[in-house]
Amino acid sequence: MPREILVTSALPYANGRIHLGHVVEHVQSDIWVRAMRMAGHTVHYVCADDAHGTSIMLRAEKEGITPEALIDGVWTEHTADLRDFGVIYDHYSSTHSETNRGLTYRIWRALEQNGHVESKPVKQLFDPERQMFLPDRFIKGECPVCHSKDQYGDACEVCGSTYTPTDLIEPYSVVSGATPIQKESLHFFVKLADFEALLKSWLEERRAAGGLQSEVANKLKEWFADGLRSWDVSRDAPYFGFEIPDQSGKYFYVWVDAPVGYLAAFKELCESGRKQELGPAHFERFVRAESDTEMVHFIGKDIIYFHTLFWPAMLHGASLRMPTAVNVHGFLTVDGAKMSKSRGTFVNARTYLDHLDADYLRYYLASMLGPTLADIDLDLKAFEERVNSHLVGKWVNIASRCAGFLHKNFDGKLADTLPQTARARYGAAAARLEACAALYEARDYAAAMRAIVEVADEANAYVADHAPWTMAKDESRHAELHTVLTLALNYFRLLTIWLAPVVPATAARAFEFLGEAPNRFTAARTPLLGQGINPFKTLATRIDTRQIAAMIEASKESMQSPDLQTAPAPQPSPHGGGGGKLGPPTISIDDFARLDLRVAKVLVCEPVDGSDKLLRFELDAGDLGKRQIFSGIKAAYPEPAKLVGRNVVFIANLAPRKMRFGVSEGMILSAGTGGTDLFLLDADQGAAPGAPVK
């Protein structure tokens, strides 16, 4: 039975670039959409930029432009990046749209009318200079637990403690530097407890139907056990967002209108006339509570709370349909670690595209993605090997090895029929891959890719066993050769049909070569016979290790590039994608000022018993006194005693670290890549111990 399904990806925040963490999610949903369409379903695929919030307001201010100009520029960049990754939305909107404003108001008014809204005064830190309330991430101060300076208002990055901004010692506003004061303001709340019974039954029903992963359902149960507190949905001016109707100076918190943005994007698509079967009336039918259509969200594991509690509650409170499924994925790691700007593994989508083919990453991610919340590791070596071995070696090679013989000996025409054994062989392979339809739907892409690779292995073994290159020399085996080439190219076609959702651009070139463009999986049931195919042109080339190295190098460089975004730290907000914080590849001068860099004179430098990497330094740091620092540079300086008396540069305010050999009180700076390639920094003559480096 064909189904009608609205599919969304989490909305990228309009304050940063699309990076590979986002790509995981958009590729995951795009593959799903393509596969469901090839299975015969009607799918509407929409997304939008999440364009509201304090971060965007302040960044626009800093750049001297309006928030609208800022989000327009980012929108253009985001849509180009996603499109070039083969992620093709029917409509990609922005939450800062009149349609979204209208829908947000409609939902809000319904919540109010049904008695789900309450208001009460809230005490919050306020920046008296900038005249604004400060979100937690815009307040810094000394950690009340470990006394590290310059920690955020919600958590300490040094000791990991969480607290509220009012607990900070000597707090200051990141916006103006002023000391915040406590100020009271009226806030609006949605009474989530009203929806507890409803959400519990929705959870059970969805889990049973496969619309919620069990890990997600368990998380929800924990939250229920804690009790659902009312949700603060208002923010005071100045704020970039939608003003709350009849409440001058009060704005909807970005998380209110962000998910509404899914429906607003769909409404705009319905009203655009771009899809004949859609229209304004269709939208209303789609969103009514008893709709038999499906609404499927793809999100990262950092925003489960918003999508499985607030969002269904808001929809139900406004008598609208609830989500059919919330599909959650893990974060992207690179080479087993969190994406890192300094290692060059925080890769922007555009930087990847400058060096490598989008389908390569799509294929690798598909081979890693399962239906769980497990993180997905981009192992760069495995990425290269898998693309070269599977895509080029096992798939494309079937066509490149056989096409020439078909053109030379049979005028490029496939045989009209296949003998019984070849037909049976094809039928068995096609039947095996039919299982992939269900695997795609269950988002077990990794299992689908394994099945496809198995059939590719079988196809390659068939070609190797029958050696068409030998047969071609023997006139008496002409008919046999035609069978072998026809079956081999049908293997290739079969693999192409099932790989098409994952590698759409390469598959399109392959179909051009085959002279057809099947858009249903069912096309794979019947082999292609009696038809002429086009001369073979290269479909995919092997990855050269140097392309990956160049991408990593360019990602390191983009850290320093001055034309990139400078933004305050992002507040927790609806940006999906996960796998590393969204944010600026550059830092502000304030970030630099957090580092207390000093010149010091080496008093003692010696090897450390039991360590083959470390040297122990004692430094004269002038007015800071003496410092002991362990530094992992022994490979570069095998004669440590020679360092005594020279100057070094070190970070004086790095939190002391207790090591097996003693406490290390800072970090000495050196240039180079590590191992023997390390060179200590020096200061020109005249720099006294303790002199600050600025």
Q: For the CB of residue 152, give the shortest distance to Zn ion in the complex, in Å.
A: 10
Residue placing its CB nearer to Zn ion in the complex, 74 or 143 = 143
Q: Which is nearer to Zn ion, 150 or 257 (CB)?
A: 150
Half-sphere exposure (CA, 13 Å, Cβ side) for 591? 9
Q: Which of 95, 44, 102, 32 minimizes the C-alpha distance to 282?
A: 44
Q: What's the rounded Cα separation, in Å, for the pair 324 and 477?
A: 57
**How near is the Cβ of 337 to Zn ion at its closest, in Å?**
23
- Nearer CB in complex with Zn ion: 146/549: 146
Buried b (16+ CB within 10 A) or exposed e, 63-77: eeeebeebbbebbeb
- Cα separation, 346 vs 336, in Å, equals 13
Closest contact distance (angstroms) between CB of 665 and Zn ion is: 17
- Least Å distance, CB 142 to Zn ion, is 9
Smallest Cα–Cα separation from 348: which of 570, 16, 578? 16
Q: What are phi and psi of 124, to 5 degrees?
A: -145, 160
What 3-state DSSP class applies to 185?
strand
639 in Cβ contact with 673 (< 8 Å): no
Nearer to Zn ion, 90 or 136 (CB): 136
Closer to Zn ion by CB, 532 or 656: give it.
656
Nearest residue (CB) to Zn ion, 128 versus 656: 656
- Decide: 659 and 631 in contact? Cβ < 8 Å: no
Nearer to Zn ion, 162 or 561 (CB): 162
Biggest alpha carbon–alpha carbon distance for the chain: 94
Which residues in 10-108 belong to E strands, given as ranges?
42-49, 91-94
Question: Helix 420-433 vs helix 478-499: angle between axes, to the nearest 10 degrees?
Answer: 10
Report the C-alpha gap between 264 and 94 in whole angstroms.
9
The end-to-end CA distance of the chain, in Å, is 68
Contact residues for Zn ion (CB under 5 A)? 143, 145-146, 148, 156, 158-159
Nearer to Zn ion, 158 or 678 (CB): 158
> Considering the complex, what minimum distance in angstroms separates the CB of residue 250 from Zn ion?
34
Task: Indicate the residue among 160 and 535 with the shorter CB distance to Zn ion.
Answer: 160
CB of 588 to Zn ion, least distance (A): 22
- For residue 667, the minimal CB distance to Zn ion (Å) is 18
Cβ proximity to Zn ion, 149 vs 407, nearer residue: 149
What is the nearest approach in angstroms of Zn ion to the Cβ of residue 163? 9
Q: Give the list of residues 6+ apart from residue 56 with CB closer than 8 angstroms, or none.
A: 14, 15, 67, 70, 71, 240
Strands 250-252 and 294-300: unpaired
Q: Smallest distance from the beta carbon of 663 to Zn ion, in angstroms?
A: 17
- Contact between 341 and 20 under an 8 Å Cβ cutoff? The reply is no
Of 144 and 393, nearer to Zn ion (C-beta) is 144
Position 93, amino acid: S
Q: How many CA atoms lie within 13 A of 524 on its CB side?
A: 27
Q: Smaller CB distance to Zn ion: residue 160 or 674?
A: 160
The nearest distance, CB 153 to Zn ion, in angstroms, is 13
Cβ nearer to Zn ion, comparing 25 with 150: 150
Contact 266, 103 (CB under 8 A): no
Q: Dihedral, CA atoms, 472, 474, 480, 486, nearest 10 degrees?
A: 10
Report the C-alpha gap between 233 and 253 in whole angstroms.
5
The whole-angstrom separation of Cα 264 and Cα 267 is 5
Amino acid at 500: A
Can you say whether residue 40 is alpha, beta or left, with left for phi > 0 and alpha for psi between -120 and 50 degrees?
A: left
User: At closest approach, how far in Å is the CB of 155 from Zn ion?
Assistant: 9
What does DSSP assign to residue 376? E
**670 touches 636 (CB < 8 A):** yes
In whole angstroms, give the CA distance from residue 414 to residue 528.
8
State which residue, 146 or 169, has the beta carbon closest to Zn ion.
146
CB of 188 within 8 A of CB of 119?
Answer: yes
With beta carbons less than 8 A apart as the criterion, state whether 40 and 520 touch.
yes
- Sorted by sequence, the CB contacts under 8 Å of residue 116 that are 6+ apart come out as 190, 191, 194, 195, 317
Describe the crossing of helices 420-433 and 445-466 by its angle, rounded to 10 degrees: 160
For Zn ion, the closer CB: 145 or 217:
145
Residue type for position 167:
D
